[in-house]
Every structure is written in structure tokens, then in C-alpha cells.
Chains A and B, each alone.
Chain A
Amino acid sequence: MAAIGGTRVNPKKFHKNQIPIYLYLIPIAVFMGLPIVYIINHAFKPMDELFAFPPRFFVSHPSLINFQNLFQAAGTSSIPLSRYIFNSVLVTAAVVFLSVIISTMAAFALSKMHFKLKNTVFEVNNLALMFVATAVTIPRYLTISSMGILDTYWAHILPQVAMPVCLFLIKQFVDGVPNSLIEAAQLEGAGSFTVYRKIILPLIKPAIATGAILVFQNVWNNIETSNLFTSSEGVRTLAFYMNTLSTAGTVQGQGMAAAAALIMFIPNLLLFVVMQSSVMNTMAHSGLK
């Protein structure tokens, strides 16, 4: 029975015993992927196709009308679409940037330094992997309101910067950096900050990419911070706007929501495709003990 042995995992070549796997994986992949294909098609459907009977899955006369409507409709209300996009980009970029910096710093300390509370901090962070923000929405609201940052960009940014999963994954990856490298640098007189900047950061790029993607997905798609912590349209995000479009239930709204959904989805997809090998590399270190 050696045939079921080692050569089977991560094979280099196609073999006929992979056929059964394809036979069930492909239908599942179709089920999982169709909605995405559908969004893409839906976004380019002209009005008569959006509400055609019988309903059509694929677009037959692609048009940009939904995108035009989206930009114009937003233009007639006081807040232009570009403002929502700007807000989303600003907030997401700020959170990703801050999150990567503070998580890598904390990961370096937790992985390569000795101090009393080291294990406690790491354990608490592991417990917080199970943290569900929606469960404590109300105290979070009270905290943010008492800080006086309601209805500002900070209300989007600050609550999302510390992300336990991000710290966890990066810390596990830093564990793999050899201590000898750090010791060698210290012998040559490098301080902690130099070690962090010159040795740790360059060696943990895959983990940084992974952390950044996870944070990005969290923030870019988030409607809660707009919904709960802001009240003026001017500081709300694209995800929030898209959600109001799709729940408004107007005829035009549907097409516009599909177009907005596509605009939302593309950055998610591109980032993941570009960074997928870094992500898989990091995930190999993701074990929770």
C-alpha cells in the first residue's frame, strides 16, 4: 500500500488518481465561484436585463450605465461618490499602515525578548483571537464617544488597528528568524531598534503581507464603524454607501449596488492574487499550541 504514501501530497505531476478529487472539487468550486461571476455580470447589465424575465445569469449586452448612474446619482446628493472612495482609501491605508507597524513591533518583543509578562501577554492575545467585536458594540461605542472621536476618521481607524490575528500570525513567523542573526548584529553594536528595522522587518515580509491583507479585508469591507460611530455622510465609507444602495430597494439602486459591489471587490481580489504565495508561506507557521 505504499501508493497511498508520501508521493501523494503536493504532487509534481498530474496522475490519474487525482481525477476523483477534481470530480467533486470542480462542482464545489463552481458553487463557490458563481456568485462572484454573477456580481461581475450583474454590474454590466443594462436596466432591462437586470429585471428581465426569465432572469438571466450572464450579461448579453454589457453596458456601463450602472457605473454612470452610480457616479451621477452620488453627484446629485450632497456627497459625491469620490468622497466615499477617498474615505475608504484613507481609512484603510491608515489602519493597514499602523497595524503593520505596531503588530511587527509587538511580535518582535513577544518572540525575541525576555520579560516577565511575555507569556501572559501572548496568552491574552490568543484568547482575544476569539474576540467578536459585534458582541461588545455598545461598550465600544461608549469608549469611542468618551474619547470624543465620534464622527471623525479616528472612529474608523483607532478601533481597528489592534488585530489579534495579525499579531499572532506575525509573531509565529518571527519565531522562525534565527537568534544567531540577532546576536551577531548585537555584537556589532546594533540596538534593538536597528535589529528590528534591519533584520526582523526584511526577513518577515511574507508575514507582513499576510497581516496587511487580513487587516485590509477587515477594514475595507467594514460597515459597522460607519454605521455606529459616525453620523455625517462626509466621513462614511464606500462599503457603507454600497450597503445603503442595495437595501434602498429602488430599481436603479440594484444596478448601482452591483456596480459598487464590483468596485469594492476588485481590490480584495487583486491584493490576494498578488500576495497569495506570501500568505501560504505565513500560514504554514500559523499553528496554535
Chain B
Amino acid sequence: MITKRRTPYLFLMPYLILFTVFIIVPTVMAIGLSFTNYNAVQTPQFVGLTNYINLLTQDTIFLQYVLPNTILFSLVVGPVGYMLAFFLAWSLSQLTKLPRTVLALILYSPSMTMGVAMTVMWRVVFLGNQSGIANYALTQLGIITEPIVWMLNTNYIMPIVIIVALWGSMGVGFLAMLAGLLDVNPELYEAGAIDGVRNRFQEVFYITIPSMKPQMLFGAVMSIVNAFQAGNIGVMLTGSNPTPQYAAQLMTNHIEDYGFTRYEMGYAAAVSVGLLGLIYAFSFVARMLFAEKD
């Protein structure tokens, strides 16, 4: 073990400097700016909690669309995406190596193409006229007679955004859980069978998950982050911010709308702080569920 006093800091320094400048400082600044009125030109004016009060009482768009949308979106893409990732990883872990590797690669590939594939591919699938793939398929099946203008129809925008987000959500967390599943000591399963584990469901809950809690937690955190980061999908698919009638407007879009379109940076910062708080709350729940008790 290395105990010299200055050495550790020398090794940490480069990372810490960049980490501080580009992660900590912006976060602290966001908190600071959220108490001000700032239009990016004049000096920020301190306004106390006004931004937060406006956000929670005056901003009808936020309360009526953005907040419910964000909660719906993150609940589906977060927990549901997470359970799906675990289920797929669990299924894969029971296959032989070659098919497992190939299938894992296919499931993982959307998450590495996300931005790239999305604009090109999903826009063609959900094209609003007859030559869109979704419209064509549904017409052929006799489900619809007129093409649906997917990206302008407020009933469909949000579900489509959620499907696309789920499609791209088998990322690092999924791989971590797969690795964790493969790492569980097989003797535990044998012991469990002797101790009266009756079916696969019990096996997953009493043996598999408890013995890979750390990976489960890592996967959960990654799912949460992914769910909140995926906010651009709606804007990219519909090609506009705000999305038509705010149908898929999420907090990240609201931040950009206020920050870069209206230059109300102080207000946008208050929304940012709210978003970070929400992410932290979700992660706190995940920690409660999977933390190792010691």
C-alpha cells in the first residue's frame, strides 16, 4: 500500500480538475442561477425563490404537460426498461456462449446507435403519409384506411417516444446485469434447490437477485440516468421544440426551450435543479432497494 502524502493527490489531480470544472461547477452554478433573473447579457439579479414559486404555481405548461410527461416517461422507461433489461439478461444467461454473445450484441446495439439511428430510421417508420412503414403495414393489415400523421397527432407522440426510448435502453446497465448473472456462484442454486426453492420465480427472488445486488444497483442507476437523458427523442422525431402541443415535452426540453430560445436562464436553471432533484430521488429509491446491508 502506498502511503506517501502527496502522491495520491498527484494521481487524482487531472481527473479532479476536469471533474470539478465541467461537472461540479456547472451544477453549483445551476443552483446559484436558479435564484436569479438572468438573460445571458446583463448581470444576474437575485430574486430569491421566485423562479421556483413560478415554476410550481404559474407555469401552466410545466404543470399541465411537462411534469406529467416527465413522470410518465421516466416511470415507464426507468423501472419498466430496467425490469425488461433484467429479464432479457436473465434469459440470456441461460443460453450457451455463442448464441448468448450474438443475441446480447443485437440487444445492445440500439443503445450505441441511439442518436444516429433515431433520426434516420424512426422518422421513416413513422412518416405521416402512405409511404411510412408503420402506416403501410397498418393499412395492409386493414387496421387503418387513412394514413396517420404520427408526429402531429398528440395521442401517438408520447407512446412512440417511449417505444423508441425503450428500444435504445439496453445499455451498460444491461451488460452489467448479464455479467452479474453469469457470475453468481452455481452452488447457491444447488443449495437453494435443497432448501426448498420450488420454481424459477422463487429462485430469481431468493437467490439470483440477492447475490448480485451491486450489479442490480448499478443497472438501476444507469436506467434512471438513461431515462432522464433520453429527453431529446421527442424533439428529434418531431423536429421541433416545443413538440406539437407539448405532447412529448420533457423537462430537458423545457430547459432548452427557456434557456436557449427565450434566454430566461435563471428560470431554466430552476428547472434544471428540479430535474437533478428528481433523478436523485429516483436513485435514492434504487439504493434503498438494493443497498448491501452491513
Q: Decide: A192 near B11, CB < 8 A? Known: A129-B225, A258-B120.
A: yes
Give CA–CA (A199, B256) in the complex, Å.
46
B35 contacts which chain A residues (CB < 8 A)? none
Residue B76, interface by CB 8 Å: no
Q: A13-B96, A138-B265 are in contact. Are A54 and B136 (CB under 8 A)?
A: yes
Known contacts: A103-B15, A114-B2, A192-B11. The answer to whether A139 contacts B269 by CB under 8 A is yes
A143 adjacent to B22 (CB under 8 Å): yes
Query: Is B55's beta carbon under 8 Å from chain A?
Result: no
Q: Are A106 and B93 in contact (CB under 8 A)?
A: no
What's the tally of chain A residues with a CB closer than 8 Å to chain B? 113
Is there a chain A Cβ closer than 8 Å to B77's Cβ? no
A8 part of interface (Cβ distance < 8 Å): yes
1/0 contact string of A234-261 vs chain B (CB within 8 Å):
0000010011001101000010011001
Partner-binding segment picked from A67-75, A77-85, A271-279: A271-279
Contact A162/B272 with A239-B115, A264-B116, A288-B218 known, Cβ cut-off 8 Å: no
Check A121–B30 contact: CB distance below 8 A: no
- Interface SS of chain B: helix
Query: Given the known A-B contacts A18-B95, A54-B136, are A136 and B116 also in contact in the complex, defined by CB atoms under 8 Å?
Result: no
Contact partners of A102 in chain B: CB under 8 A: 14-15, 18
A139 engages B25 (CB within 8 Å):
yes
| A192 x B7 contact (CB < 8 A) | yes
- Please pick, from B23, B116, B184, the residue contacting A128 in the complex, using a CB distance under 8 A: B23
Per the bound structure, the CA–CA distance linking A267 and B33 in Å amounts to: 40
What are the residues of chain A within 8 A of B1 when measuring CB–CB? 112-114, 179, 182-183
A105 adjacent to B124 (CB under 8 Å): no
In the complex, chain A residues whose CB is within 8 Å of the CB of B101: 276
Contacting B255 at CB < 8 Å: which of A38, A137, A261? A137
Contact B193 A1 (CB under 8 A): yes
Nearest-Cβ distance from residue B20 to partner chain A, whole angstroms: 9
Tell whether A35 pairs with B182 under 8 Å between CB atoms, given A106-B16, A143-B29.
no
Quick check: B192 and A5 within 8 Å, CB to CB? yes
Q: Is B107 in contact with A4, judged by CB distance below 8 angstroms?
A: no
A1 touches B197 (CB 8 A): yes
Q: Are A223 and B115 in contact (CB under 8 A)?
A: yes
Shortest Cβ distance from A192 into B: residue = B7
A33 contacts B11, CB within 8 Å? Answer: no
Which residues of chain A (25-43) have a CB below 8 Å from chain B?
Answer: 25-26, 28-29, 31-33, 35-36, 38-39, 42
What are 22 A-B contacts defined by CB distance under 8 Å?
Answer: A2-B190, A6-B189, A18-B94, A32-B167, A42-B120, A105-B11, A106-B16, A113-B3, A114-B3, A121-B16, A132-B275, A135-B228, A135-B275, A137-B255, A137-B256, A143-B22, A161-B18, A192-B2, A239-B116, A242-B116, A286-B180, A288-B215
4 more A-B residue pairs beyond the given contacts A29-B107, A135-B275, A261-B121, with a C-beta to C-beta distance below 8 A: A4-B193, A118-B8, A128-B19, A138-B30
